[in-house]
Structures are given as structure tokens and as C-alpha cells.
Amino acid sequence: MTATHGDAPRATVLVLNCGSSSLKYQLVDPVGGEAIASGIVERIGEEQASAKHMAHGETTRRERQVHDHGEALRLVLNLFDGVGPDLAAAHVVAVGHRVVQGGSRFDGPVLVTEDVQRTIEELSPLAPLHNPPNLTGIRVAQALLPDVPHVAVFDTAFFRTLPEAAATYAIDSEVAQRYRVRRYGAHGTSHQYVSRQVADVLGRPLEDLNQIVLHLGNGASASAVRGGVAVETSMGMTPLEGLVMGTRSGDIDPAVVFHLHRNAGMSIDEIDTLLNRRSGVKGLSGENDFRALHDLVESGDAQARLALDVYLHRLRKYIGAYHAVLGRLDVLTFTAGVGENDDVVRARVVEGLEAFGIEVDSERNAGRKSEPTVVSPDGAKVTVLVVPTNEELAIARQAMEVIGG
Ligand code: ADP
């Protein structure tokens, strides 16, 4: 994204993403799209936390104990004070908070109120690792930055449009309703941003396009988007369902859980850890970074080859399924760490899909893409694109919409 011709932006948004032991932030110019400063505080609550602040092309590091998220945010504000940019001069007009689970309640970004905070808390059983720290982030930021509006942007909101048939699990409906067991999706901010970017890049009305978006990062998800409206997505009640991921299994027969509990003596928490952290390509090969995975494959490692094959097979299945859901497919887009950078994955995913009109041109596909790029050949039935995602910018722009900026 380009800066605003050297002029200071008229308004900026501070985007916050609080994890259980981390706080990520970015100061964003929502118009020009520039990240003016960004950083992360990691290992909050441990003996030694580390902070990394990037601004003016320089990185500043701090190592010290940080007891909680409030202290972490104070450290971040000190870094802005000491290293810059000066937040007062940056005209911060809103703080945008990433919140993972918005349940059935939120279909878009909202101004944070007491009621919104209560609902985020109520939804915590559905996202126990994410919603509580997201809410803590909101509370400490409101306390330290009380003069600007705070906006919650939900990872699930884009998928509130899923048809009932796609959102419903075929289980006893009374149990499902009582415990809010349904498919909410995740990565929605990215899928929405990228699917809109696609229309801009192609210069075609969003309403006319049937799209599949593949967000392939460490977490990975696919979506089917008809006319800008999400109609399917691969993540379910939690981000565990769907594609094979860096460390998550994605789809699995639920009976595997019963089997491991009954016959391997594993507790529910151990199985949770197994499926979320010790599975996916890492579980199969020992590596979850695709650069290392490819090195292993090239060295002849059979497990790494299998991991890549399983990953690609699942992706192809989803592309075929979503093609069927959409009826007609116009665009297939790759995004996130693997999708943007890994030309081998992109090329291999579409192998054998020529009959669906899906193919890539090897020259266009080659290399990492930091700009939106068409990688299918001219005249292809389905346009294949790589579009870098930018969740912080998307959150900043949604925050601006909410405050009417
Ligand atoms: P997340 O936000 O889910 O943590 P990202 O979207 O940042 O993940 O993606 C991170 C992943 O992207 C890494 O684990 C790695 O597998 C992959 N990746 C990053 N750079 C490259 C590259 N040059 N080639 C292949 N894969 C890459």
C-alpha cells in the first residue's frame, strides 16, 4: 500500500489484537492504507516479555517483565511516546479491536458498549482461548485511551450470511440450540477484504462475481462468496474445522476423539491439544513452516511429502465442493502467508483442475506476490489471483465506518 504522498494522514486508527500472552498493534492510515507503526508484545505474564516496535523504518526492542495486558499497553504507549510516532499528532480517531467470536449476534463491526462487552464475555465458551484476551484488550485500552471510540471487529461477522443449510450441524437441534453449536466461521475480516479487493483489481462489480477465497496462513480457511455475500466457509463452530493447517487437523471423524479418549486414555484437554497444536502438516512432518516443509520434501523425506499431499488433497476437495455450491465460479484467490508466497502450493493445488477451468500460468505464478496479481492464463474460464490480505487495514476501515469517518 502506498503512503499519502508524504502528507500526514488526517486520521489514523490504532488496531489492537490481544492474544492470551501477546498484544499486537498497528497504527493505520485507513485512507492511504499505510501501516505507520506496528509491533508486538509477547510473553505477557511470563518472567521476561519482549516488545518489538517498528516505526520510521526502524525496529526498537525492549525486554522486561510485563505482568498483564494493561502493563503491555502502557509499554506500547511509552514506545510511541519515546520512539514515535507521536500518537497525539497522529490524530487517532478510533481504536479497532479484533474479536474472534461474535456468535450469532454480530454481523458487522460495532461500537464497544457495556452490552457488547457482556456479549463477548458470554460467547467465551465458544472461543475460550481468544474472546477472554480480546475482551481484556478492550478493557485495558478503554482505560488507557478513554477519549477515542473503541470498535469491535468480529472474525465471524462476514459469515453471518451463511445459509442455514451451511451453518447448521446435523445434530439434535435442542442440544445445538442450547449450547449454540453451529458453524460461525473465522478469518472473516480477511475473506471479506480479499473478496472486495478482487472486484477492485478486476474492475468488475462485486455483485457479479462468484468467488472462492483460500486464506492459507498458519491457520487456513476457504470461503465461497456469491456477489460479495459469504455462502460457505470451511471453519466451523471453532477454527479447527476444515482445511489441513499448520498445526490443526481440520476435518476429522469426530469418532477419533471418542476412540482416543476411550482406548488411548487421553483426556479431552490432551485431545484438544493434539488436534489444535500437534496436527496438520506439523503433526505429519514435524514442520509447520512451508519453507521448511519444502526443504524436507526436496531432501526426500517421505513424511513431509505425505503432509504436503494431504494438505493439497484437502484443498482440492474444498475447491470442488465450493465450485458445486456456487454453481459457476469466476475467481479463485490465494491469500495469507502460504497463499501469497508459496508458488509451489499454488501450482500444485490446481493440478488436475483444468476440467473446471482452473489453471495457472507458470510464469505468472512464479515467486512471492506482494501486490494483487493475476496468475491464470489469458482467457482462462476462472481467473486465479493472488491478493495479499491486510486484516489490520480492514479493521481500521471498518472502525472508520462505525464512527462515521
Ligand atoms: P498466521 O497469520 O495464520 O500466523 P500467516 O498468514 O502469517 O499466518 O502465514 C504464516 C505462514 O506462511 C508460515 O507458517 C509459512 O508456512 C508461510 N510462509 C511465509 N513465507 C513463506 C514463503 N516465502 N514461502 C512459503 N511459505 C511461506
Whether 219 and 136 map to the same domain: the answer is no
Residue 139 located in a structural domain: yes
Residue 191 located in a structural domain: no
Show the ligand 1 pocket: residues with CB < 6 angstroms: 217-219, 246, 288-291, 336-338, 341-342, 368
Whether 140 and 32 map to the same domain: the answer is yes
Whether 126 and 235 map to the same domain: the answer is no
Please give the distance, rounded to the nearest whole angstrom, from the Cα atom of residue 338 to the centre of ligand 1.
Answer: 5
Whether 300 and 368 map to the same domain: the answer is yes
Question: Is 379 annotated for ligand binding?
Answer: no
Question: Which of 341, 346, 365, 370 has most ligand 1 atoms within 8 Å of its beta carbon, as the pocket-test mutant?
Answer: 341
Whether 290 and 368 map to the same domain: the answer is yes
Question: Which of 290, 311, 391 has most ligand 1 atoms within 8 Å of its beta carbon, as the pocket-test mutant?
Answer: 290
Residue 173 located in a structural domain: no
Report how far residue 299's alpha carbon sits from residue 255's, in angstroms, rounded to the nearest whole number. 35
Whether 138 and 23 map to the same domain: the answer is yes
Helix-strand-coil split of the chain, %, nearest 5: 40, 20, 40
Phi-psi region of 80 (alpha: psi -120 to 50; beta: other; left: phi over 0): alpha
Its domain, for residue 216, covers 204-391
Whether 119 and 217 map to the same domain: the answer is no
Task: Indicate which residue of 155, 330, 342, 343 is catalytic.
Answer: 155
> Which domain CATH number covers 363?
3.30.420.40
Residue nearest to atom 25 of ligand 1 (CA): 342
Per-position pLDDT tens, the chain of length 405: 444 445 677 899 999 999 989 999 999 999 999 999 999 999 999 999 999 999 999 999 999 999 999 999 999 999 999 999 999 899 999 999 999 999 999 999 999 999 999 999 999 999 988 999 999 999 999 999 999 999 999 999 999 999 999 999 999 999 999 999 999 999 999 999 999 999 999 999 999 999 999 999 999 999 999 999 999 999 999 999 999 999 999 999 999 999 999 999 999 999 999 999 999 999 999 999 999 999 999 999 999 999 999 999 999 999 999 999 999 999 999 999 999 999 999 999 999 999 999 999 999 999 999 999 999 999 999 999 999 999 999 999 999 999 997
Question: Is 182 annotated for ligand binding?
Answer: no
Whether 242 and 383 map to the same domain: the answer is yes
Whether 222 and 368 map to the same domain: the answer is yes
Please tell me the pTM assigned to this model: 0.95
Cβ neighbours, 10 Å, residue 364: 17
Whether 228 and 340 map to the same domain: the answer is yes
Report how far residue 211's alpha carbon sits from residue 282's, in angstroms, rounded to the nearest whole number. 29
Residue 25 located in a structural domain: yes
Report how far residue 326's alpha carbon sits from residue 321's, in angstroms, rounded to the nearest whole number. 9
Looking at the structure of the chain, the number of domains it has is 2
Report how far residue 39's alpha carbon sits from residue 68's, in angstroms, rounded to the nearest whole number. 17
Determine whether 81 is an active site residue.
Answer: no
- Per-residue pLDDT tens for 43-55? 999 999 999 999 9
Residue 189 located in a structural domain: no
Please give the distance, rounded to the nearest whole angstrom, from the Cα atom of residue 341 to the centre of ligand 1.
Answer: 7
Out of 154, 176, 191, pick the residue that ends a domain.
154
Residue 162 located in a structural domain: no
